[in-house]
Amino acid sequence: MALAPGTADFRDADVVFIALHGGAGEDGRIQSVLDLAGVAYTGSNHIASAAAMDKDMSKRLFRSVGVPTPDWMMAPAASGVVGASLGWPVIVKPNKQGSTVGLSVVREAAALQDAVERALRYDDEVMVERFVSGREFTVGILDGVALPAGEIIAPGEVFDYESKYQSGGAREVFPADMPAAESALIQDYARRVHGVLKLGAYSRIDFRRDAADGFWCLEANSLPGMTATSLLPQAAKAAGIEFPQLIERICSGALKRR
């Protein structure tokens, strides 16, 4: 059921399809409201959504199941400590935000504080993370199954907001051009991440591969983009699942869970 503003109560809906990113849409608050109302909805429950959105918490959980993730610390952190512990460059980003909003690549100590202050515009917690240079990959999870890995080829060093949403941004390749053993490895990592965060019917997990061919989990997305050309639908298509079928499976799963 589609609800036009002011025409119906959302509690009359068969299922609410959540297609929000960041903030209250992805951090569990919307999910909590729908739980209290007893309404079926897509995605993960409020606890899993909050855990995935909190990058500090989720990275601790990644490591608890043996999934490598870049070293990090939380601001405030003296530039000397950052340089000694993480090296330069580093990624500075809001701890609980989506779509790489407020993210900066910091190459030297003098630029650290400005990047922290920029991130603080979007969250009250800021993460400083070791930058991993290399190819970027993503793995979607659907009904507990890892979909074919994809590669994200961004014009810059990171898959930032502009690369994601502006015309002529990143190029995305599904399935990724990589050895089968490497694809199987990050699919396994993605399943572990999805499981330890207790995510729902679907998610998307992002990785970087360094120069030594080591893989590092960057983050988990509890509500990945869901247009026909978004990353998860592209991964599903590579597995033989067309977009209408994918949407139907997600909605049916939400109803069964409720």
The secondary structure element, H or E, covering residue 250 is: helix 243-257
Q: In residues, how long is the chain?
A: 258
The pLDDT-based confidence of 167 (bands split at 50, 70, 90) is: low
**C-alpha dist (Å) from residue 171 to 185, 187, 225, 240:** 23, 21, 15, 21
- Class at the top of the CATH hierarchy for domain 72-130: alpha beta
Q: Is 2 exposed, middle or buried (0-12, 13-18, 19+ CB in 10 A)?
A: exposed
pLDDT in tens, 1-29: 444 445 456 778 889 999 888 778 889 99
Q: What is the pTM of this model?
A: 0.90
User: Strand 90-94 to strand 104-106: parallel, antiparallel, or no bridges (unpaired)?
Assistant: antiparallel
Instruction: Answer yes or no: is pLDDT of 255 > 70.
Output: yes
CATH code linked to domain 133-244: 3.30.470.20
Domain coordinates in residue numbering, the chain: 72-130, 133-244
The secondary structure element, H or E, covering residue 141 is: strand 135-142
Residue located via tokens 């002529």? 168
CA 132 to chain centre: 17
SS3 207: strand
SS3 137: strand
What is the DSSP code (8-state) at residue 121?
T
Cα first-last separation, the chain? 16
Residues 25 and 249: their CA atoms lie apart, in Å, by 21
Per cent of the chain over pLDDT 90 is: 78
